[in-house]
Chains A and B, each alone.
Chain A
Amino acid sequence: KAGVTQTPRYLIKTRGQQVTLSCSPISGHRSVSWYQQTPGQGLQFLFEYFSETQRNKGNFPGRFSGRQFSNSRSEMNVSTLELGDSALYLCASSRQGANYGYTFGSGTRLTVV
């Protein structure tokens, strides 16, 4: 079966711009979570969506937002990009939530210049 698909794989943006990342979960998975991975901070939880509702949110500024559609596909948006937003953004899907075990996508590498 198809895995978790994240697009695009790589992205270069300029400070101040905004960006939208996309994630298509495994069929039947209603939970989609997003994580930011950087060399300095490691893996940090951004938010989780379940059946189109944000169920959980990490400690990130309001510039980071997301949504989930009725087909469980999810997008995350970062507005007013800062250099520190450069990171690998990982999407993870699960049938019910994190504790059941995630299936991750290959991530989107965002570089802010």
Chain B
Amino acid sequence: AQTVTQSQPEMSVQEAETVTLSCTYDTSESDYYLFWYKQPPSRQMILVIRQEAYKQQNATENRFSVNFQKAAKSFSLKISDSQLGDAAMYFCAYGRSNFGNEKLTFGTGTRLTIIP
């Protein structure tokens, strides 16, 4: 079974600074998908970034980028120019590449605090 590990329960960063959230996963498959989701106090999970494992290029979305190291099974999220609105729980998630049998396995989350 696939597992996703987020080893940092809490992180904090000064506003406008850069922070990196860690995620490792365990799988025997070569093709899969990885995600970062954000859950603010409003409870609604929001997709931050999506990475397809067969693509070497790291995904980016504005101030959010990932460092995808397939051999090391590592998928970290970098947030640049942190803003107060970035404060939330961040979940890393793994999805098997199995059309018709898709579901996500989530990590335990990292609570990110932004210090003004």
Contacts and interface: CB of A to CB of B under 8 A. Distances in A.
A93 to B, nearest CB: 12
Nearest to A107: B43
Given A42-B108, A99-B95, A105 B103 contact: no
A42 B109 contact: yes
Chain A interface: which size bin? 20 to 34
A98 B44 contact: no
Contact of A105 (B35, B37, B44): B44
Contacts of B16: none
A33 B107 CA distance: 18
Nearest to A44: B106
A26 interface: no
B103 A98 contact: yes
Interface in B66-116: 91, 95-97, 99-109
Interface of B: 33, 35, 37, 42-47, 50, 91, 95-97, 99-109
